[in-house]
Amino acid sequence: MKSAPHRNLDSDTYEISLVGISKSFGGVAALSDIALKIRAGEIHSLVGENGAGKSTLGKIISGITTPDSGTLSLGGQEMSFGSPRDALAHGIVTIAQELAIVPALTVAENVLLGDEPRARGFIKRRELRRRFDELAKKVGFEFSSDTIAGTLSIADQQKVEILRALSRNASVIIMDEPTAALSRIESHALHEVIRSLAAEGKTVILISHFLSEVLSLSDTITVLRDGQLIKTMAASEVTEDGLIELMLGRTLGALYPAKTHPKFNSPSVMFVNNLSAPGVSNAWLSLRAGEILGIAGLVGSGRSELARAIFQDSPAFSGSITVNGAVLAGKSPRVALQKQVVMIPESRKDSGLLLGRSIQENITLSSLEKMSKWGWILRSQESKITKQALELVKVKSAGAKQKVSALSGGNQQKVLFARMLLNSPRVLIADEPTRGVDVGSKRAIYDLLTDLAKDGLGIIVISSDLEEVLGLAHRVVVMRQGRIVTELTGRAMNEQAVLEAAFAEQI
Amino acid sequence: MSKQGSRDSVVRFVPQSLRSWRSSGILLPFSLLFVVLSFSSGAFLNPTNLLNILDQQSAFLIIAAAGTLVLVTGGIDLSVGATYALASCVSAQYAEKHSILASVILGIVLGLVVGIINGIIVAYLKINPLIATLAMSFVIGGLGSKFTKGNLIVLTDKPEYGKIAQTVWLGVNTSIWIMAVIVVLLGILLTRTVIGRYMIAAGGNAQAARLAGIQVNRVRIIAFALSGAAAAVAGIIDASRVLSASAALGSTLAFTVLAGIVVGGTSIAGGDGSVWLTVLGVLFIALIGNGFDLLGIDPLYQQITLGLILLVAVGMDAYGRSHQR
């Protein structure tokens, strides 16, 4: 994978130099005494677990946050940025996780937003288009300037942001988790863009959870842990395991728990027979008790759509689903829950959690009827059940009355597991169970899934992280364009085979 | 962390719903206003005056308590004024020839039906609740005018109708008793029952609620139905208080009520709110009016003050939400 053309980095031209940077939020140190030098024209990655301080560091460089102490120099000159605008004026641009695109405007209008060529208050449209085309050509993006930005894929929207950054003559581009929402192909495309930016002499600061991405792209990697800078090193000097060890301060052991195969006589819990639903055509599937079935495929291949159809969140056009011999067909997830089929949705913030409410309310939400009488919530029973559920999924919190938004991503995910486990499931579908979860907590979720399977649940794991699917599942099906195209078990279940099936006909 | 601990021990005696500064925001200004009025006007701190305020506000409080539930579920009900007027007219008219009980039931059922229709329009036809209930308020207002032919309904022939709200029990009017019971019931509904929890979930994150197996549409309809019924009860109480009813009443009621709910601290974004804070919000506005009257200040400034307070309340809500994460 290591194909990045490493540039000559012997020169002492440091673009950015930080000395003694510290920052605390409400008494908790987010960064302490950071000293970091970033060379001009390099790709420098910041890695660390959630809460390690990498995003805070990015925000200090881009002027969004001001440090409590320490100095920031740019090209040898000491700076003090009061706002992102100050940083922007010095050529530092951030491309955040949440994109700032105006969906109703065209690509060209978005790129030159706030900087449109104008005459007497009117925008000179032809001039606008000309400037855009020039810029896009220079970077090698193929865009029609008149495309409405809202219709683009997320990867393309990211390119729009990059163009916008370049149009402001950015010399330093900070990217916070740029590929978190991208499919594999889109990620590759973005990697090429990042490499070409660096080749042009731009400095790229990359904040990412994906270590393989970090290793293949970066010239230099800085590891942060608990707000401290652990080590800065050349990417060629370190391996993925080495990085994990530095990030955690200990060895992780194996990333995946040992697989316990279901007993040869364990019964099937679910059949999906020739199911067609929005985004899914003619899907056949069976699931045994104690089995973890992985669904792989590209984003948009129908994985999540199949999950939603099974969970009765979207209507089936034809075909049927049987769970323990009974037909599962209804108009809402409520019906699936009654049949003991549960799903952990893809996006916990959008479709899982009530962020403003307590951990307890979030956990008991789908099983309140069991802990109430005549619609009256039995509070002592509710807290007892919550406590048991929290122990089961091992959530670390300051108490069940704490707001769920105060938890880390991994613990939030466990809260959703707890909610669903209270429905005494037979079938559990986990869609991207470790998205946005840091390396240390991932293992905890894998352990949970493995333990649940041992207890006899049928589990379906959907993930864009191919290693994760292969590391957890006993059997993998690959989807492409709404269809299940292949099923892999045993030795045939490897990365090569999955990728071939997922990409076939497209390359 | 230790700072957090000592703060927790102080607030342990404060009800849970009041623990964040945002949701308890109204308590301080309310107490302050109360104290200031007690000192600056001799007539204020006097049981007759205070009971009078409660009597006048009982209709608003009932509607606002139910309106809080609608806001929590992520909706808004602008048709309460029209429903209030229609129910009071129909009930009063019917009472002229029939029993009081029958006329009360008729009025409430009418409100309930209007509320359910609102709920169905919003939940199943997916029409924005602001527009849906605004449209309904025109329809119902029109029906009211048609029904009364624009006349005032006067109940001088049936003074018994006045007993609904004007009977004195333990020194307090039944209007206040009825209000207190309804407000407490709705408050308990929101905080202690399954349906209340579902309302908070439906308003906070409808998609998450659906995936947790909650019938979001049903929850929304229930909230609107309660709001309609509450508007009808309020209309009947006011008709009984003054022994007359008119279809022209209630045109600005929805906005006054909404102002009370928002000043109380219930979020207009849904998913959070408190009936008991709504009570404080409505009474806060009433106290301003009462105080201005007692102090002989031009009523013109009342409206300006109310407008400014409303802006502060909504501003604090927005600030609180943007700094929450």
ipTM: 0.84
Contacts of A402 (CB under 8 A, 6+ apart): A358, A359
A401 membership: H or E segment, kind and range? none
**Contact status, residue A427 vs residue A452, Cβ threshold 8 Å:** no
Which residues in chain B touch residue A341, judged by CB atoms under 8 angstroms apart? none
Instruction: Taking residues B102-127, report their average pLDDT.
Output: 96
pLDDT at A12: 52
What does pLDDT average to over chain B?
A: 88
Above 70 in pLDDT, residue B98? yes
In angstroms, what separates the C-alpha of A33 from chain B's closest C-alpha? 22
Instruction: Give the model's confidence band at B323: pLDDT under 50 very low, under 70 low, under 90 confident, else very high.
Output: low
Please state the pTM of the whole predicted model.
0.77
Distance CA B213, CA A79 (A): 54
Dihedral pair phi/psi, residue A170, rounded to 5°: -70, 140
CB nearest to B193's CB, from A333, A357, A377: A377
B325 membership: H or E segment, kind and range? none
pLDDT in tens, A213-223: 899 999 999 99
Interface of B with A in 180-239 (CB under 8 A): 192-195, 197-198, 200-201, 204-205, 207-215
Which residues in chain B touch residue A428, judged by CB atoms under 8 angstroms apart? none
DSSP, collapsed to helix, strand or coil, labels residue A482 as coil
Contacts of A150 (CB under 8 A, 6+ apart): A101, A103, A104
Distance CA A431, CA A272 (A): 17
Nearest CA in chain B to A337: B213
CB nearest to A334's CB, from B193, B213, B272: B213
CB nearest to B213's CB, from A27, A333, A377: A333
pLDDT at A248: 76
Contacts of A499 (CB under 8 A, 6+ apart): A466
pLDDT at A362: 96
Higher-confidence residue of A181 and B85: namely: B85
A187 torsion bin: left (phi>0), alpha (psi -120 to 50), beta (else): alpha
pLDDT at B19: 45
Nearest CA in chain A to B199: A365
The secondary structure of B103-167 as a DSSP string is HHHHHHHHHHHHHHHHHHHHHTS---HHHHHHHHHHHHHHHHHHHHTTPPEE-TT-GGGGHHHH-
Cβ contacts from A onto B, under 8 A: 82
Instruction: Taking residues B46-74, report their average pLDDT.
Output: 95
Q: pLDDT below 50 — which residues of chain A?
A: 1-11, 506-507
In angstroms, what separates the C-alpha of B290 from chain A's closest C-alpha? 36
In angstroms, what separates the C-alpha of B289 from chain A's closest C-alpha? 34
Which residues in chain B touch residue A352, judged by CB atoms under 8 angstroms apart? 208, 211
What does pLDDT average to over chain A?
A: 86
Among residues B90, B81, B68, B83, the alpha carbon closest in space to that of B17 is found at B68
Share of chain B above pLDDT 90, in %: 63
**Contact status, residue B223 vs residue B199, Cβ threshold 8 Å:** yes
A356–B324 C-beta distance less than 8 A: yes
Distance CA B21, CA B316 (A): 10
Instruction: Taking residues B66-90, report their average pLDDT.
Output: 96
Which residues in chain B touch residue A366, judged by CB atoms under 8 angstroms apart? 212-214
pLDDT in tens, A256-306: 888 888 888 889 999 999 999 999 999 999 999 999 999 998 877 899 999
Question: Which one of B16, B73, B211, B217 would you mutate to disrupt binding with A, by most A Cβ within 10 Å of its Cβ?
Answer: B211
Dihedral pair phi/psi, residue A126, rounded to 5°: -65, -45
A376–B210 C-beta distance less than 8 A: no
Burial class (CB in 10 A: 0-12, 13-18, 19+), A350: exposed
B193–A372 C-beta distance less than 8 A: yes
Nearest CA in chain A to B189: A376
CA distance to A298, A345, A349, per residue, from A181 (Å): 12, 15, 14
Which residues in chain B touch residue A372, judged by CB atoms under 8 angstroms apart? 193-194
DSSP, collapsed to helix, strand or coil, labels residue B70 as helix
Which residues in chain B touch residue A419, judged by CB atoms under 8 angstroms apart? 212
DSSP, collapsed to helix, strand or coil, labels residue A123 as strand
pLDDT at B315: 82
Interface of A with B in 344-363 (CB under 8 A): 345, 350-357, 361
Instruction: Taking residues B2-20, report their average pLDDT.
Output: 42
Q: Retrieve residue B174's tokens.
A: 């039944």
CA distance to A45, B60, B70, B303, per residue, from B310 (Å): 48, 17, 19, 10
Higher-confidence residue of A431 and B292: namely: A431
> Which residue matches tokens 């024209």?
A41
Q: Retrieve residue A22's tokens.
A: 């510290």
Above 70 in pLDDT, residue B121? yes
- Give alpha helix (H) positions in B41-79: 47-72
Interface of A with B in 292-351 (CB under 8 A): 311, 313, 332-334, 337-338, 343, 345, 350-351
Distance CA B54, CA A476 (A): 67
